[in-house]
Amino acid sequence: MRDIRTAPFVEEMRKTTVNMYRLGWDERNGGNISYMLNEYEVAEYLDLQKVIRRIPIGFEAKPLIGKIIIVTGTGKYFKNVADDPETNLGIIRIAADGCTAELLWGYKDGGKFTSELPAHLMSHMARLSVNPENRVVMHCHPTYTLAMNYVHELDEKKFTHTLWEMCTECIVVFPDGVGVLPWMLCGTNSIGEATAEKMKEFRLVVWGMHGIYGAGKDMDETFGLIETVEKAAQIYMLTAHLPRINTIKDTEMVELAEFFGVDYRKDFLNL
């Protein structure tokens, strides 16, 4: 059996959490990541018959039965993941009842998966129903995106449109736009259900006055989506209080979307 600390998926979790922490997206224990793994990848490093603990997940995730997921731990700091992945991360498998997580590795200090597991697993289910390649769900508290929540209407058409105006690449990177939820109590099944509903339509969902969720087929795609929103929000926050002299016009966004061949939310433009 190979040493799991050298596994590429553990390495990806370490690198991504370091990046997110350094960008200021994940203060203290803020943020969480779940990354669905292939059984054959994990079998090289772990005996899949050996379950360390069984932890109830508090809802039913039947479509994910048998799926193996590496997930950040609740209360754990992203800044500490790289030095001690076995305490700050865990690898779980959804048991045959669909309501229990079988711990295969990690949470060494007796901890457990993120309190946002409902939003993560429900989002995985929602994304997989529209894109079978989806593997990553990521949540964080990026500074400018969050700041924008306080000064911009939390309306998904208006919010997306403003972001699209802020950087030329935006409409190409997230042509499907950004879903927006109002402030809701986090860590609950309800916010998980609301997030998953949005995830059927969007790969990005803003949690009003809290943060953002991204979903994608790999770590780069997911990170890149959030990074692009955050960059656009930064430009917005640096300019919102100044007279706007120039902007990217809706007709130019259409030009971009057509040139790059992306299927964009036409109803989010004002043509």
By annotation, the residues acting in catalysis are: 116
Report which DSSP code applies to 123: H
Q: Measuring CA to CA, which residue among 176, 166, 161, 159 is closest to residue 268?
A: 161
Return the number of the residue (111 or 224) whose C-beta is nearest ligand 13P: 111
CB 163 within 8 A of CB 233: yes
Q: Measuring CA to CA, which residue among 90, 93, 131, 127 is closest to residue 111?
A: 90
Sites of contact with ligand 13P (CB under 6 A)? 29-32, 72, 74-75, 114-116, 139, 186
> Minimal distance in Å, beta carbon 236 to ligand 13P?
23
Return the number of the residue (72 or 160) whose C-beta is nearest ligand 13P: 72
Among ligand 13P, Zn ion, none, the one that 29 touches (CB under a kind-dependent 5 to 8 A) is ligand 13P
> Minimal distance in Å, beta carbon 191 to Zn ion?
10
Among ligand 13P, Zn ion, none, the one that 216 touches (CB under a kind-dependent 5 to 8 A) is none
> Minimal distance in Å, beta carbon 88 to ligand 13P?
10
Q: Measuring CA to CA, which residue among 186, 74, 54, 66 is closest to residue 119?
A: 186
- Rg over alpha carbons for the chain, rounded to the nearest Å, is 19
Among ligand 13P, Zn ion, none, the one that 58 touches (CB under a kind-dependent 5 to 8 A) is none
x/- track of binding to Zn ion for residues 200-219 (CB under 5 A): -----------x--------
Return the number of the residue (202 or 264) whose C-beta is nearest Zn ion: 202
| Separation in Å, CA 82 to CA 33, 34, 41, 240 | 14, 16, 20, 37
Q: First-to-last CA distance in the chain?
A: 59
CA 200 to CA 187: how far, in whole Å? 20
> Minimal distance in Å, beta carbon 119 to ligand 13P?
8
Number of shown-chain residues binding Zn ion (CB under 5 A) = 1
Q: Hey, CA dihedral for 108, 111, 114, 120, is it positive or negative?
A: positive
Q: Measuring CA to CA, which residue among 41, 48, 19, 39 is closest to residue 31?
A: 19
Return the number of the residue (74 or 189) whose C-beta is nearest ligand 13P: 74
Return the number of the residue (127 or 139) whose C-beta is nearest ligand 13P: 139
Among Zn ion, ligand 13P, none, the one that 32 touches (CB under a kind-dependent 5 to 8 A) is ligand 13P
> Minimal distance in Å, beta carbon 26 to Zn ion?
9
Residues that bind Zn ion (CB under 5 A): 211
